[in-house]
């Protein structure tokens, strides 16, 4: 690991729970990770694995009730965000830590001009005139490669296409030059040619501005093409963490291996007519009734008695490759 | 190719755009603008394209769920384009559809068993004990337990709901199943289960799929042939292997280059097109892709390329290289 000064975000033992009619469930359970300056950390997992709640927890935006952060620490540039009061948090949010969401149409104000929305975000954190803020807004729109930025700044969200809206969201999120950007499925709602454009844009800007990036996605292709490090989550817990090269070369957790085998790949060259995919049997467990041991055990080919009884600890397999599996050693042998 | 089960010729669907107090027509959405293809028995044709390219409208027109503006749809040699509702009914048995959202396409107040059995009851094919036995068999075929027949849709997961939709489509032993983005709403691990189920069922029953999806990788796995649509037209159609190995239309090439590959050592993402898909209300003249194409020539702005054979049944609509598209 690099030295401490490079660290933008350090999350330790984060725990977020929800109180519902059917009981208490741990959406995020004992999650630790860190992000360095200019680094991209991807969090992958399927619906309900806790990746979006993790993002909301970092932003302190978990709806309370029913949710609450009940433990751990989130240290951004040396400050524990969980210890701040709401007004202090407001001065950090959108300033040092920003977020872009999956659906740009629902996260932009439909009755406010694009430029004004950026101006509002900038003036909230910086003591500058409306004119200066407007210049920054137009400059940001130019930075995210929106053609004719001065004209677009006067338009409303509905006048922009999906890709343009997501660009405007990115402009707003980066307007105050945050230390950390969280992107929660930023391209899931977009078409594939637009997705490629937006991902390339996010990575370019990140390089230019040195922002730390937490990229939340379900798409392993997006992970492979963008991230330096990866966390795989299952049922609220981190089950594996590794550099992107190590993870794709030799996944240690049976769930990661199963995910990789089940994604259909665009055939590079000649694949037989129809190809059956490797599937993971069963479904993601309900968080309210989690098994006592490893949550993946009921779907795992390698499960043994011990897996059902005890939750496996995260073990280091060298080079910061962590995996929580009793049988990680055997995973490589069983395809 | 085997004999064609479904033949679509020059299909068009235009929607009027109205505005003002008098609701005068101010424009036309060219949702589908001259689409032709054939689908053989036991074959899967994948239809891919980005949002607004008209792929879902093609699917719905084939089933006559929307009335085509012009063109011809032949099922088993018979022209069904202008049949009345009553005359169409016997044909409805042989064509079924599975929708994208298994949450919206199941009646929440009916039990899963009733949902799957309804087509049989409507067509008067089975009643009482026999109906129940056939529904139980359908449940087993799609990997559900017959004891779940009494459950309501909300008691099933997303993947299981899609299995119910598939069982309902199978009930009438159709010859054609239109799948409109059947796995896009599902998680990755569940997607694989449903794709495998669809492949297995086709091998058992020998029906044809018209498989619509925006995800090229999913289409690549299930299809025998693939058609790529852009702004209401098919720009390229070929055998799956050929299309992915040797795409000839610049749009297909851009589409393939935009798919992020799940391998960090692979070539990095390189967007080959800029800008957005133009509006289908006033689609660009000539080749609709010329506004985003890096190889567009002066001719492309005025001349609409026809879908021509570039060899071995690989058809492409591009003016480059005498209408055979761009080689790689």
Q: Provide the ipTM.
A: 0.81
Task: Tell me the shortest Cα–Cα distance from A238 to chain B, in angstroms.
Answer: 18
Cβ–Cβ of A266/B240 closer than 8 Å?
A: no
Q: pLDDT of chain A along its 335 residues, tens only?
A: 445 568 999 999 999 999 988 888 899 999 999 999 999 999 999 888 899 999 999 999 998 888 999 999 999 999 999 999 999 999 999 999 999 988 877 889 999 999 999 999 999 998 999 999 999 999 999 989 888 899 999 999 998 888 889 999 999 999 999 999 999 999 888 888 888 888 988 998 898 889 999 999 999 999 999 999 999 999 999 999 999 999 999 999 999 999 988 888 776 544 445 677 888 888 888 788 888 899 999 999 899 999 999 999 999 988 889 999 999 888 776 54
For residue A189, give the chain B residue with the closest CA.
B51
The domains of chain B are located at 4-94+176-189+203-276, 105-173
- When CB atoms are compared, the residue of A191, A263, A279 closest to B193 is A279
Once rounded to an integer, what is the mean pLDDT over residues B141-169? 92
Neighbours of B8 (CB within 10 A): 24
Cα–Cα distance, B84 to A62 (Å, whole number):
55
H-run or E-run covering B135: helix B128-141
Q: Which pLDDT belongs to residue A3?
A: 54
Burial zone of B20 (CB within 10 Å; 0-12 exposed, 13-18 middle, 19+ buried): exposed
Task: Tell me the shortest Cα–Cα distance from B202 to chain A, in angstroms.
Answer: 11
Closest to B201 measured CA to CA, from B225, B165, B237 = B165
Write out the CATH class of domain B4-94+176-189+203-276.
alpha beta
- When CB atoms are compared, the residue of A47, A193, A270 closest to B254 is A193
Mutation for testing the A interface, residue in B144, B263, B272 having most A CBs under 10 Å:
B263
Chain B contacts of A47, Cβ < 8 Å? 187
Cβ–Cβ of B220/A192 closer than 8 Å?
A: no
Closest to A246 measured CA to CA, from A328, A313, A319 = A319
For residue A192, give the chain B residue with the closest CA.
B258
Which residue shows structure tokens 């093409």? A225
- When CB atoms are compared, the residue of B192, B216, B240 closest to A277 is B192
Instruction: Mark out the alpha helices in chain A (DSSP H runs).
Output: 51-58, 86-92, 104-107, 114-125, 130-143, 149-152, 162-174, 192-209, 220-226, 244-249, 254-262, 305-309, 328-331
Q: Within an 8 Å CB–CB cutoff, is residue A220 touching chain B?
A: yes
Q: Which pLDDT belongs to residue A269?
A: 45
Cβ–Cβ of B220/A267 closer than 8 Å?
A: yes
Cβ–Cβ of B189/A264 closer than 8 Å?
A: no
C-alpha distance from residue B295 to each of B56, B230, B301, B318 (Å):
29, 16, 12, 10
Please check whether residue B36 is in contact with residue B234, taking contact to mean a CB–CB distance below 8 angstroms. yes
Cβ–Cβ of B269/A259 closer than 8 Å?
A: no
Q: Which pLDDT belongs to residue A333?
A: 64
Chain A contacts of B276, Cβ < 8 Å? 161-164, 194
Query: The pTM is what?
Result: 0.86
Q: Which pLDDT belongs to residue A272?
A: 47
Mutation for testing the A interface, residue in B50, B250, B262 having most A CBs under 10 Å:
B262
Pairing of β A212-217 and β A40-44? parallel
Cβ–Cβ of B195/A264 closer than 8 Å?
A: yes
């Amino acid at each position: 690991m690099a030295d401490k000064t490079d660290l933008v975000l350090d999350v330790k033992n984060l725990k977020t729970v929800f109180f519902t009619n059917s009981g208490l469930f741990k959406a995020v359970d004992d999650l630790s990770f860190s992000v360095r300056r200019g680094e991209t950390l991807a969090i992958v997992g399927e619906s309900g694995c806790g990746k979006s709640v993790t993002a909301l927890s970092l932003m302190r935006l978990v709806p309370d009730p029913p949710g609450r952060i009940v433990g751990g620490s989130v240290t951004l540039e040396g400050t524990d965000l969980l210890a701040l009061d709401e007004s202090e948090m407001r001065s950090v949010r959108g300033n040092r830590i920003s977020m872009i969401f999956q659906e740009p149409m629902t996260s932009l104000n439909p009755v406010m001009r694009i430029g004004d929305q950026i101006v509002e975000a900038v003036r909230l954190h910086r003591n500058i005139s409306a004119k200066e803020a407007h210049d920054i807004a137009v400059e940001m729109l130019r930075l995210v490669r929106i053609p004719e930025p001065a004209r677009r700044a006067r338009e409303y969200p509905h006048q922009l296409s999906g890709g343009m809206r997501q660009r405007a969201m990115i402009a707003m999120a980066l307007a105050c030059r945050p230390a950390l950007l969280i992107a929660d499925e930023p391209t899931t709602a977009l078409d594939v040619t637009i997705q490629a454009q937006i991902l390339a844009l996010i990575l370019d800007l990140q390089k230019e501005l040195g922002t730390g990036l937490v990229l939340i996605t379900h798409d392993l292709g997006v992970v492979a093409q963008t991230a330096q490090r990866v966390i795989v989550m299952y049922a609220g817990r981190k089950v594996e963490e590794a550099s992107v090269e190590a993870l794709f070369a030799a996944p240690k957790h049976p769930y990661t291996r199963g995910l990789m085998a089940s994604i259909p790949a665009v055939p590079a060259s000649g694949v037989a007519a129809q190809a059956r995919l490797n599937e993971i049997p069963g479904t993601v467990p309900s968080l309210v009734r989690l098994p006592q041991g490893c949550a993946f055990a009921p779907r795992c080919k390698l499960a043994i008695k011990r897996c059902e009884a005890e939750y496996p600890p995260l073990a280091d397999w060298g080079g910061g490759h962590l995996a929580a599996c009793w049988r990680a050693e055997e995973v490589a042998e069983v395809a | 190719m085997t004999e064609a089960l479904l033949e679509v010729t020059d299909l068009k669907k235009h929607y009027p755009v109205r505005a003002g107090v008098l609701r005068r027509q101010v424009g036309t959405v060219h949702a589908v603008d001259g689409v032709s293809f054939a689908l053989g028995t036991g074959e899967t044709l994948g239809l891919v394209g980005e949002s607004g390219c008209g792929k879902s409208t093609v699917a719905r027109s084939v089933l006559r769920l929307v009335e085509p503006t012009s063109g011809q749809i032949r099922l088993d040699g018979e022209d069904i384009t202008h049949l009345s509702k009553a005359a169409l009914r016997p044909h409805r048995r042989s064509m079924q559809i599975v929708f994208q959202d298994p949450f919206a396409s199941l009646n929440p107040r009916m039990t899963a068993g009733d949902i799957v059995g309804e087509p049989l009851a409507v067509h008067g094919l089975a009643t009482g004990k026999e109906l129940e036995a056939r529904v139980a068999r359908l449940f087993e075929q799609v990997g559900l337990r017959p004891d779940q027949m009494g459950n309501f849709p909300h008691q099933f997961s997303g993947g299981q709901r899609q299995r119910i939709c598939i069982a309902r489509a199978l009930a009438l032993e159709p010859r054609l199943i239109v799948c409109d983005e059947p796995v896009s709403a599902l998680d990755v691990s569940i997607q694989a289960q449903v794709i495998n189920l669809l492949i297995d069922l086709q091998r058992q029953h020998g029906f044809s799929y018209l498989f619509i999806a925006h995800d090229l990788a999913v289409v690549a796995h299930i299809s025998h042939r693939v058609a790529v649509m852009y702004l209401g037209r098919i720009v390229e159609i070929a055998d799956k292997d050929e299309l992915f190995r040797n795409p000839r239309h610049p749009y297909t090439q851009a589409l393939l280059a935009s798919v992020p590959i799940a391998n960090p050592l692979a070539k990095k993402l390189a967007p080959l097109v800029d800008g957005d898909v133009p509006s289908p209300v006033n689609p660009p003249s000539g080749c609709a892709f010329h506004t985003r194409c890096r190889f567009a020539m002066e001719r492309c702005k005025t001349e609409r390329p026809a879908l021509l054979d570039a060899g071995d049944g690989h058809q492409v609509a591009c003016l480059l290289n005498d209408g055979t598209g761009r080689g790689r």
